[in-house]
Chain A
């Protein structure tokens, strides 16, 4: 078997609020292999987004180890974390987080214009069009997000996540704001990336979407368990 792309062991996240500290994640173990797709389900407030934040190096665990692609990155300076976010991860959120003053193409190019690994304009354009094409909206390259449907906007966001050819796609309820049909198409677009060796970690409330993933994990009160299909 290949080397796992992600190995989380004993990840604990404790939030110190105004009241007493709350344990949001409690000793989470998770291993993801290249090309694998994992669904994470759980109640609202169970810590799914927090787990994804830690996976995507937005947030740091209080305890536990994080090995990415064979490298222990549990204690990584922010500068290197930013570099890894650019080179290894793509993100898709429930809200699309598109910049409305930019066109679809410029929104996608944003992931290339980030001060990491410069590409000349021509190559940038080629990559952006390729990414937009992968999600089936190359014809909307010059449109602004304000003139697009929700499904189209989410596709732009997926193209933005894919444009740097990431190793891992992290999607936090990407279909939460979409109708069933559009949502299904978005899941298809995400899954198609896994055919090229990219891993997918999907947080979802939708059973059908979870069922499309290779594995489903369940998060309950900060504890992650493998859900065995029945």
Chain B
């Protein structure tokens, strides 16, 4: 142990002295390597950022990885079975229906809860004599939204992004005036069209007065509102919910292997109701998609890195040639060959590390600039952090390049014969 630490410290002192004596050469090696490491860092960072963005998009739409989504076919018994099974558990049931919010008796400007900017959908076309039609203004002061009633906190499974206001509060007593959280598309509609707040839901006993408590981004292009199931069912007779003709799709979100999964599938099977379970595996899907792309870019970066390695090798060989006397002398005073080889290798490795640090620094700064300049236009780049794995990739690339480029010079250094160099 003592000997080892002595060797180690000797190597460190000699290595640092060597680098300090040849700052320009070290700089040259670094320059030759810099682009290669930067390429690796950039590819890795780009891939990570893209992956993260894709992943969070996928999570937003289909839930966290490992979420089990059970689709239950419409049946008169299915709402009762589902709500009963889900009650008191972590699982969340989703019931999808439609709601028209606005003036009573008016047809919505976007029938079928269509996105608003799909222009002519909810409008009457104005046509001239020759048959050319242009979209007219919206007909009714009402907006149709897809309505998702949830029995529990959906956020456990899907990370809906907060935009403004609050999320549904499940801890309070259900309110008679259903609280709605709408998505951004729906918010757009309410912003552009002032509508009186009254909500019509198919099958409801009466129209209700909803309160919009918040806006979220759910990644959906369709205007949608989320509501507490119990606040909606105050107004919906059980019969209408279970009417197979109404076709309200039922969905349960839970985790694979949970008690809810087992009990629910058993109960549904017993009642002769079909259901389909689907496990969310976003990361796996995405990785399959991104693997090839990443491979192509990384091999391109690897090529640039190889050129850098050739640079280090070149400079390293020249340096050893220049230091023949020094190495012979060091061997003469008893420095073991292996240590000398190690020192040469350590010097190039240190050069590689320094280069990696520089490339990572440039990468971090570059990303900051890009995110500042383009962040307002591209939400993907807004306030994006430098991915740590890009840093790791850069450091590994630097060290590997240092070792590859330093290996042959190290062998040369170890093989220098003392007797030939040191003769008078």
Contacts and interface: CB of A to CB of B under 8 A. Distances in A.
A173 interface: yes
Given A82-B331, A101-B21, A118 B419 contact: no
Contacts, number: 94
Interface in A158-173: 160, 172-173
Contacts of A95: 424
Interface stretch (A34-42, A52-60, A214-222): A52-60
Given A49-B423, A53-B419, A102 B17 contact: yes
Contacts of B20: 101
B332 A85 contact: yes
A227 to B, nearest CB: 21
B418 interface: yes
Contact of B424 (A85, A102, A176): A176
Interface string B1-43: 0110111011101100100110000000000000000000000
Nearest to B326: A99
Given A82-B337, A85-B333, A102-B17, A115 B11 contact: yes
B336 interface: yes
Contacts of B418: 53, 58-59
B8 to A, nearest CB: 9
B335 A115 contact: yes
Contacts of B5: 118
B323 to A, nearest CB: 9
Interface in A76-104: 78-79, 82-87, 91, 93-95, 97, 99, 101-102
B10 A78 contact: no
A173 B424 CA distance: 7
B10 A118 contact: yes
B336 A113 contact: no
Interface residues of B, number: 32
B424 A115 contact: no
A106 B17 contact: yes
B17 A118 contact: no
A170 to B, nearest CB: 10
A94 B7 CA distance: 29
Contacts of B422: 53, 58, 91, 93, 97
Contacts of A31: none
10 contacts: A53-B419, A58-B418, A83-B334, A86-B333, A87-B334, A113-B9, A115-B339, A116-B6, A117-B6, A118-B3
Given A93-B424, A106-B17, 17 more contacts: A53-B422, A58-B417, A58-B422, A78-B337, A82-B334, A83-B334, A91-B332, A99-B329, A101-B17, A101-B21, A102-B21, A113-B14, A115-B6, A115-B334, A115-B336, A116-B335, A173-B424
Interface of A: 49-50, 53, 56, 58-59, 78-79, 82-87, 91, 93-95, 97, 99, 101-102, 106, 110-111, 113-118, 160, 172-173, 176, 203
